[in-house]
Structure 1
Amino acid sequence: MTIVSEDLLRRYDVPGPRYTSYPTADRFVEAFTDGDYARAVAQRREATLPQPLSLYVHIPFCESLCYYCACNKIITRHHGKAQAYLGYLQREIDLQAAQLGGRPVVSQLHLGGGSPTFLSDDELRQLMAMLGRAFELAPGGEYSIEVDPRTVDAGRLEALAAMGFNRLSFGIQDFDAQVQKAVHRVQPADQVFALMEAARRIGFESVNADLIYGLPRQTPESFARTLQQVAQLRPDRIALYGYAHLPERFKPQRRILQADLPMAGQKVAMLSQALDAFLAAGYTYIGMDHFALPNDSLAVAKRQGRLHRNFQGYSTQPDCDLVALGVSAIGRVGATYSQNAKTMEEYCDLLDQGRLPIVRGLALTRDDLVRRAVIMALMCQGRLQFETIEVAWLLDFRSYFAAELEQLQSLAGQGLVALDGEGVQVTPQGWFFVRAVAMVFDRYLQADRQRARFSRIL
């Protein structure tokens, strides 16, 4: 049994940021321009020891609409659009390469979407060649791609491995046929099991499976069957997300009937079932909604205190600058965040003008940087040392964060954190609610009670 009580699960079933960045993306402003980004890149170029570099490429296309989806995507069966998009990606890569200078080394690459496997094998090879001309992909790096199981077979997985990808992420969500039909994403379990077998045979270093609880027509009984199948599938990593029904923000969700959604009590029961099932199956709980087998590099990194966090979630890679390519992609360079245009029309128009398609972002203040260090220590290490922050930022922690330490007393009383004279320790129970612990130090959130725009913590 898990050590998490149903009372705590209910109490913390509230909206909150995922803290893939701090400040969060909803705080970005249009006053941040491609000129601000150019200055940040210039500072990186002049640094004696620049941060390691990571790449993210957003492929927005999908052949069919999944009703639950809140990603930036374009639904089309016209695969000719991919070739035109690659042409614009080439322009963006060229502009980025010109600013970065040389051929910088990249140790981490992630293709997300949308469905990156919407691209044909030839188009994916073309994209990897484009990236390879501008960046040096370091041996032993992490090169991952999100895979829609309905768009690949064993032959395609072999092709991905030959291109240099060594990590996969399969979108499963749920194996129940009725749930799949309700969200317009039908994919037989046999198909996913065959792909997992092929991925192991080919030698991918790690395979992740995405699951969602709280979907229409899900019940604790049906989800228990899915959990059993996932335990048999035994992916190296599992990402378990709670479905956030926000039809006022995401049009595809308007096709989901409110009456088909599980009740709050059922959703809590499904989460509790999942925690029990994955821990019983031998998975290490990484934090938030991530699990990994004990020998997976993510679990090893947690044991060794080397976890990091970026826009793709938990990572084993050092704190990186991130160059983001493609429509809506979010990057980070130095003390700045930047985001590309969210519509294809605006993205292409800016590139036609010879400009990077950055339309908003944020230059972090000193307070932002201090709080980012605190939040990332909690989210990744589960331990916050006062002295570490004081030495790095030349401040008195207890004075600077007096109000936050007062708030933490309540969480300590609930058994989520332990406080002592040296720092804050997230308890084993508190790991399940680490977002709530981090939220205490979010200056923007504390001043803003309109939190419904975020997904729920659980």
Structure 2
Amino acid sequence: MKISLTQKYNVPGPRYTSYPTVPYWNEGDFTSQKWIQSFQKAFLESNSQNGISLYLHLPFCESMCTFCGCNKRITKNHSVEEIYIAALLKEWDLYCNLMPQKPIIKEIHLGGGTPTFFSTSNLEYLINGILSKAEKANNYEFSFEGHPNNTTYEQLKKLYDLGFRRVSFGVQDYAEKVQKAIHRIQPFHNVAKVTFWAKEIGYTSIGHDIIFGLPFQTIENVIDTVEKTNSLKPDRLAFYSYAHVPWIKGNGQRGFNEENLPKDAEKRKLYETGKQMLSQNGYHEIGMDHFALISDSLYKATANKQLHRNFMGYSASKTQLMIGLGVSSISDSWYSFAQNTKSIEEYYQLLAEDKLPVVKGHILSDEDLIIRKHILNLTCEFETSWSNKSLYFKEIPNVLEDLKEIEKDQLIIIEEGKIKITEAGRPFVRNICMAFDLHLKRKSPETNLFSMTV
């Protein structure tokens, strides 16, 4: 019996928010001092040119969503806000003390957890504390993630007044049965309310996150969710595949059984149905799992070949240096990665000792930097080339050999010194990237590390 391309290529694989991927970081060669040297080098190279990016991780949520893989702390006790913000600002102070000049901020993104867990006044205090030691770039872009159930008009207005113009709301799916399974009960009314508020206030880019492959999810559910989404007309969308990795995330993803999840061709049909509907309503596919209207900056960045991808996802602007503040945050200097401790208690303790809360990372080799560029090209532009000597590496013949089957299936076109991903190949970008992933090829994982690629 002939198997489908989805069945053929649906294997465990990285999502490539970084290269090397986190499981392949060489932690033995990493030290906090090496990170500081790398950070300072990147700061001098980038601050006055493009500015820097900040990612602030706000980990608190009032309830557990069983689809979520983020680092979070479940609590209804809002007294945790002040101590956490004080810690974030202390960490920012430590970084500022290492900078030879005032930082110019191009991007700020508030992620979580649930950033809108925090009160309006505390969010204002946090952002003002960050900006008091920095300048804003001329073309700065500030964004945050909001939970439709608890985002208030006051929060939206205050963050807008502080310079935020982009907001994304987690929707996932509107079907009641699916919402119960993932412990995320939020009626359409709540999403519509915060979306209209954001439009009224003046946000220029409103995003919704929806997921396919959730437990009990059917074609009818996806159609209903996309129809409701279209009626609100967000500027951009993330349409993600649910990453089922309970071996990593523990009990948080064991609120349903394996047989409740749509698989292989059934799961892929959910995506193709949603994608077709989005296309018919003016949304254009951007990179992996993202869609945007022509008016949105993400579409414009794609058209101008300026799309960038990092730990925050796809971005319309590129900065060399991204500093991650907060528990579990990852920083990126281009030359190295550094991750903060995932323990809030250890995070507080290290900061009390005037130490950066970095506990692991990776210093990129020359080879890593070349492969990283190829993977960014593939995930952002659906093509890459090694005709320029600086992007050639000696394993290219082996990579092309590994891609022969994918070429035979018409998912890529191999030309002299370059490859292009076809329209049919776009759902399999992660598989194509895996052919370039030398760390993965040299040491295949012996245990479950990654979600399925398709």
TM-score bin (small chain): over 0.9
Instruction: Write out per-residue CA displacement over residues 149-182 of structure 1, whole angstroms, 9 at most, x where no aligned residue.
Output: 1111333322221121110010000011121112
Asked if 2 retains the 8 angstrom alpha-carbon contact of 1:287 and 1:434, the reply is no
- Aligned CA distance change for structure 1 residues 46 and 221 (closer, same or farther; 3 Å): closer
Alignment of 1:38-437 (within 5 A): 38-47=36-45, 52-250=51-249, 251-388=251-388, 390=389, 392=390, 395=392, 399-437=394-432
Cα 1:264–1:381 change in 2 (3 A) is: closer
SS in 1 for 2:436: coil
* SS at structure 2 position matched to 1:295: coil
| TM-fit CA distance, 1:259 | 4.0
| Separation in 2, partners of 1:9, 1:52 | 41
Checking the alignment, whether the CA contact within 8 Å between 2:245 and 2:450 is kept in structure 1 is: no
- Please say which of residues 254-263 and 345-354 is displaced more in the overlay: 254-263
CA distance in 1, matches of 2:247, 2:436: 29
State how far apart, in whole Å, the 1-side matches of 2:57 and 2:43 are. 25
- Give me the identity figure in percent: 37
Separation in 1, partners of 2:136, 2:196: 27
Give the one of 11, 15, 24 matched to 2:12.
Answer: 15
How many correspondences in the alignment?
449
Match of 2:24 in 1: 27
Segments of structure 1 that go 5 or more residues without pairing to the other structure are: none
Tell me, in whole angstroms, the C-alpha distance in 2 between the residues paired with 1:311 and 1:67.
21
Q: CA deviation at 1:266?
A: 2.8
Contact 2:412 2:419 in 1 (8 A): yes
Q: Would the aligned equivalents of 1:51 and 1:321 in 2 still touch at CA under 8 Å?
A: no
Mean Cα deviation higher: 310-319 or 61-70:
310-319
What root-mean-square deviation, in Å, do the aligned CA atoms of Structure 1 and Structure 2 show?
1.9
Rounded to whole Å, the distance in 1 between the matches of 2:110 and 2:245 is 26
* Secondary structure of the corresponding residue to residue 403 of structure 2: helix
Paired residue type of 1:409: K
Q: Per-residue deviation at 1:112?
A: 0.3
**Partner Cα distance (1:20, 1:81) in 2:** 30
1:323 and 1:84 mapped to 2: Cα distance? 20
CA displacement at 1:199 relative to structure 2: 1.3
* 1:445 to 1:272, Cα distance in 2 relative to 1, 3 A: same
After the TM superposition, which of the residue ranges 262-271 and 347-356 deviates more from structure 2? Answer: 262-271
Q: How far did 1:52 drift?
A: 3.5
Alpha-carbon separation, structure 1, partners of 2:430 and 2:45: 33
| Equivalent-residue separation in structure 1 for 2:417 and 2:245 (angstroms) | 41
Q: Tell me: CA distance 1:81–1:318, structure 2 relative to 1, closer, same or farther (3 Å).
A: same
Please say if residues 56 and 322 of structure 1, whose CA atoms lie closer than 8 Å, have aligned partners that are also in contact: yes
Q: Give 1:227's aligned amino acid.
A: V
Paired residues of 2:107 and 2:140 also in contact (CA < 8 A): yes
Measure the CA separation in 2 of the matches of 1:386 and 1:269.
Answer: 35
Give the TM-score, by structure 1 length.
0.93
1:201 alignment partner, SS class: helix
Query: Letter of the aligned partner of 1:258 in structure 2?
Result: E
TM-score by length of 2: 0.94
**Aligned partner letter, 2:37:** R
Q: Give how far 1:210 is off.
A: 0.7
The alpha carbon displacement at 1:222 in A equals 2.1
Paired amino acid for 2:173: D
CA distance in structure 1 between the partners assigned to 2:247 and 2:16 by the alignment: 23
Name which of structure 1's ranges 23-32 and 206-215 shifts more when overlaid on structure 2.
23-32
AA aligned opposite 1:447: R
Shift of 1:448: 3.3
CA distance in 1, matches of 2:377, 2:425: 14
Alpha-carbon distance, 1:79 to partner: 0.4
* Stretch moving more, 238-247 or 252-261: 252-261
Q: Are the equivalent residues in 1 in contact too, given 2:287–2:381 (CA < 8 A)?
A: no
Q: Matches of 1:112 and 1:265 in 2, distance apart?
A: 32
Q: SS at 1:107's partner residue?
A: strand
1:78/1:249 Cα in 2 relative to 1: closer, same or farther (>3 Å)?
same
Q: 1:295 to 1:59 in 2, by over 3 A?
A: same
8 Å contact kept, 2:42–2:320: no
Deviation at 1:267, TM superposition (A): 1.6
The answer to which of 431-440 and 169-178 deviates more is 431-440
Q: In structure 2, what residue type is equivalent to 1:17? A: P
**What is the alpha-carbon distance in structure 1 between the residues aligned to residue 430 and residue 142 of structure 2?**
27
Q: Distance in 1 between matches of 2:40 and 2:286?
A: 36
Amino acid at match of 1:19: Y
Mapped to 1, the partners of 2:440 and 2:330 lie a distance apart of 21
- Once structures 1 and 2 are overlaid, which stretch shifts more, 241-250 or 54-63? 241-250
Give distance in 2, aligned partners of 1:201 and 1:241.
Answer: 27
CA contact (8 A) 1:41 1:99 kept: no
Counterparts of 1:192 and 1:162 in 2: how far apart (Å)? 22
| CA deviation after TM superposition for structure 1 residue 320, in Å | 2.3
- Supply the distance in 2 between the matched residues of 1:320 and 1:279 (Cα, whole angstroms): 33
Aligned-pair CA distance for 1:400: 4.1
* Matched position secondary structure for 2:387: helix
Letter in 1 for 2:316: T
